Amino acid sequence: MNKNNLWYIDQRAEYLANMYLSRRDDLIIERQNHTHDRGIDILIDICHSGTLTGRVFGVRIRAERSASHIRRVSHNLITYRYPVSTLEIIRDIPFPVVLLLMVMEDDSGYYNWINRTKLDQAVNLSLKTQSVPFERLTEESMNMLINEIDEWYERRIGNHENKRLV
């Protein structure tokens, strides 16, 4: 979480993110302790038919008071200059991590992957900031996001099975 040190930005962004994520009833949302920055603000378990699957992903929240730092490409796509050097901490996290950008002005939310298979493919950590595309959080985009995470785990299982056969 970026530290605005303003409760009505930082804390509110977490509740807003929780509101978005809890629109799906197959996600167990667990807020993380903020005593130390471990890279993620929320840990999410994916359930299928009410049962935990063991598939988890992390959420790192960035909050902005207004949309003034956002460049709108279309209704559902924006770009945002993200301080990517702060993402170093998530490099070794072994599960998918999603970046959420929450805007207090209109309670909108946007997401992007910041840790797919390789972090380097998403951002250039040697830069201080980088213009990063974000998609608007909608029911449709949330469905796609969860499907992508499921596929990430499916590929991972496939890779393990291939290694056993060798």
Partner 1 sequence: MKNSVGQRGEAIFYVLITKFYGRDKPIFRPQFLGDKWQNVDFIVELEDYSGKIKPFFFVQVKSTKSGYTKIKQRLKVKVRKKHVLSLSSYPAPTYIVGIDEVSEEGFVISANGESLSGISSIPTDNPINEKTQNILWEEVRNFWENSEFPRFCSYFSDPEWKGAKQ
Residue ranges in contact with partner 1 by CB under 8 A:
6-8, 12, 15-16, 18-19, 22, 25, 27-29, 45, 47, 50-52, 104-105, 107
How far, in Å, CA of 94 to CA of 56, rounded? 10
Closest to partner 1 by CB, 61 or 122: 61
How far, in Å, CA of 136 to CA of 82, rounded? 16
Q: In whole angstroms, how close is the CB of 161 to partner 1 at the nearest point?
A: 27
List, as one string, the DSSP characters of 31-83: EPP-SS--S-SEEEEEEETTEEEEEEEEEEEEEESSGGGEEESSSSEEEEEE-
Q: In whole angstroms, how close is the CB of 54 to partner 1 at the nearest point?
A: 12
Q: In whole angstroms, how close is the CB of 90 to partner 1 at the nearest point?
A: 24
Closest to partner 1 by CB, 18 or 86: 18
Closest to partner 1 by CB, 8 or 143: 8
Q: In whole angstroms, how close is the CB of 16 to partner 1 at the nearest point?
A: 5
Q: In whole angstroms, how close is the CB of 122 to partner 1 at the nearest point?
A: 28
Rounded to the nearest angstrom, the gap between the alpha carbon of residue 103 and the centroid of all alpha carbons in its chain is 15
Please answer whether residues 133 and 101 qualify as being in contact, where contact means their C-beta atoms are separated by less than 8 angstroms: no
Please answer whether residues 84 and 132 qualify as being in contact, where contact means their C-beta atoms are separated by less than 8 angstroms: yes
Closest to partner 1 by CB, 68 or 74: 68
What are the b/e assignments for 53-72, b being 16+ CB within 10 Å?
A: eebbbbbbbbbbeeeeebee
Closest to partner 1 by CB, 20 or 80: 20
